A and B are shown apart, each in its own frame.
Chain A
Amino acid sequence: DQQVKQNSPSLSVQEGRISILNCDYTNSMFDYFLWYKKYPAEGPTFLISISSIKDKNEDGRFTVFLNKSAKHLSLHIVPSQPGDSAVYFCAARKAGGTSYGKLTFGQGTILTVHP
């Protein structure tokens, strides 16, 4: 049962343009959504998060949008830079319960930014 899905395995954009990465979820009990970035041979690093009570969170070039009615979130990177080339994982945390803090990850999207 895949509760968090990233349906695009890869995305290719030109430097300076916008990158939009998408994520869908099925569980209404998720209370936080996060994006992680992963370079080869390294562990994922936290990028940005959004609470389920908000619809937008911005941090520099990175903005995450949440559409609760559609159970959809997206990460916008503007402008895209070659150093942004990495695998991006969407993750969600379920509120409460004994495994507080447990994250469910999507499959990842490989972003390639061409100079």
Chain B
Amino acid sequence: EAGVAQSPRYKIIEKRQSVAFWCNPISGHATLYWYQQILGQGPKLLIQFQNNGVVDDSQLPKDRFSAERLKGVDSTLKIQPAKLEDSAVYLCASSPAGLLSYEQYFGPGTRLTVT
């Protein structure tokens, strides 16, 4: 079974530029999550999708971050414009719907450096 795929693995941009990350979840997983992990901290949920609908985006800085999950499969997360404090690893995770939804499967992440 293929795992969660993410690209790119690394990205370096200057502040005020824009960037996009892509995630392809495990086949059949209805729930998709985007997390931000700042160095020395645990992952923080940015947005959660159930199929192609947003379930929770309460911690997404909506003035600069946006995310979509077209057709309920893969997803993109965009930052525009980037700030220095956006430097972090962006993790995508997926889980099957239902009671087992607590067990999330993570991709390798995209390490973003904003200079």
A interface, CB within 8 angstroms of B: 4, 6, 9, 32, 34, 36, 41-46, 49, 89, 91, 93, 98-108
Please, which residue of chain B has its CB at the minimum distance from the CB of A41? B108
* Contact status B108-A42, CB under 8 Å: yes
* Contact status A105-B102, CB under 8 Å: no
CB distance from A102 to the nearest CB of B (A): 6
**Contact indicator per residue, chain B 85-112, by CB within 8 Å of chain A (1) or not (0):** 0000001010100000111111111000
Please, which residue of chain A has its CB at the minimum distance from the CB of B58? A99
* Contact status A107-B45, CB under 8 Å: no
Interface size class of B (residues with CB under 8 A): 20 to 34
B interface, CB within 8 angstroms of A: 4, 31, 33, 40-45, 48, 55-56, 58, 91, 93, 95, 101-109
Known: A43-B4, A43-B93, A103-B102. A98 touches B56 (CB 8 A): yes
Please, which residue of chain A has its CB at the minimum distance from the CB of B111? A41
Contacts of B95 in A (CB 8 A): 101
* Contact status B102-A108, CB under 8 Å: no
In Å, the complex CA distance between A19 and B45 comes to 28
Contacts of A105 in B (CB 8 A): 42-44
